[in-house]
Structure 1
Amino acid sequence: MKFLWCTIQVKDLAASEAFYREIVGLEVKRRMDGPSGPRIAFLGGEGSEVELIQSDKGEIEIGGDISLGFEVKSLEEKMAFLARKGIPLAAGPFQPNPHVRFFYILDPNGLRIQFVERG
């Protein structure tokens, strides 16, 4: 069995798509339009995808215990990149064992994004 994608309801599809493309580093794989323009975007890297769906609701509820984790080669390089973009760390960095380090930022909807370096 293969994990395909996770779905995220978003307040602003364009802003969320830009975040996952420019900050996380995912590529747009496909888009689906509705009567009033873009409604769904699938972005991915190596394997699994993130499905962003434009919400018709004013506010989005994100569970406080949900996060998306992405592996990076260098935590320091990613933190420096985020600092240049003006994106603050939401938590961390943490090192729960000698082989894993990670930190969190927030996406435009308040969803926690985890960047992990394994070594």
Structure 2
Amino acid sequence: MTVQAFSFTKIEVKDIAVAEAFYTAALGLEVVGRVNFGEGERLMHEVILALPGSRPPAPNLIIISYPNAACPTPGEATTGFMVADLDAALARATAAGATIDIPATDVPEHGLRLAFILDPLGHRIELLQQIGA
């Protein structure tokens, strides 16, 4: 089997409302779907987020919560987003509750400028801006 396209990144969060508010406010993602399923410890809620105007099979960010079960420690995965203006993206993210984990750094050998932030729940996000070219 050959992978044809990246489909989604899924992160488990304790507070799905906080995560949804952050990713829509800080990164401008739009909610394109919701899934509620199961019961007891397997009760789950998902919010499916995508770039504005994207159409399947565009990749999604899925935030998932199991409200009746323990949540993994944040920081076990990193999600990456390309941005047009890294400084503006950092300002918008911090205004929405993010903290800067690694400040903006130029990586000219790769034509990139990057920074790492932590969302309000502690999940690591890499923001990348193409430079040069």
TM-score, with normalisation over the residues of structure 2?
A: 0.75
Whichever residue aligns with residue 69 of structure 2, its letter is K
Deviation at 1:101, TM superposition (A): 0.4
- Tell me what 2:104 maps to: 93
- Counting matched residue pairs gives 118
Pick one of 31, 41, 50 that aligns with 1:44: 50
Whichever residue aligns with residue 50 of structure 1, its letter is L
CA distance in 1, matches of 2:15, 2:32: 18
Q: Is the 8 A contact 1:62 1:110 kept in 2?
A: yes
TM-score, with normalisation over the residues of structure 1?
A: 0.83
- Unaligned stretches of 5+ residues in structure 2: none
- Aligned pair in 2 of structure 1 residues 20, 83: CA closer, same or farther (>3 Å)? closer
- Tell me what 2:36 maps to: 33
Could you say what the CA RMSD is over the residues aligned between the two structures, in angstroms?
Answer: 2.3
Deviation at 1:61, TM superposition (A): 2.4
Deviation at 1:63, TM superposition (A): 4.9
- Tell me what 1:60 maps to: 72
Q: Is the 8 A contact 1:31 1:38 kept in 2?
A: no
CA distance in 2, matches of 1:72, 1:35: 36
Deviation at 1:23, TM superposition (A): 0.8
* Identical counterparts, % of pairs: 27
CA distance in 2, matches of 1:83, 1:108: 9
Deviation at 1:114, TM superposition (A): 1.1
Q: Is the 8 A contact 2:75 2:122 kept in 1?
A: no
Q: Is the 8 A contact 1:69 1:113 kept in 2?
A: yes
CA distance in 2, matches of 1:81, 1:107: 12
CA distance in 1, matches of 2:94, 2:18: 19
Pick one of 89, 102, 112 that aligns with 1:78: 89
In the alignment, does 2:25 pair up with 1:22?
yes
- Unaligned stretches of 5+ residues in structure 1: none
- Aligned pair in 2 of structure 1 residues 97, 111: CA closer, same or farther (>3 Å)? same
Deviation at 1:57, TM superposition (A): 2.5
CA distance in 1, matches of 2:89, 2:36: 32
Deviation at 1:83, TM superposition (A): 4.4
Which protein is bigger by CA-based radius of gyration? 2
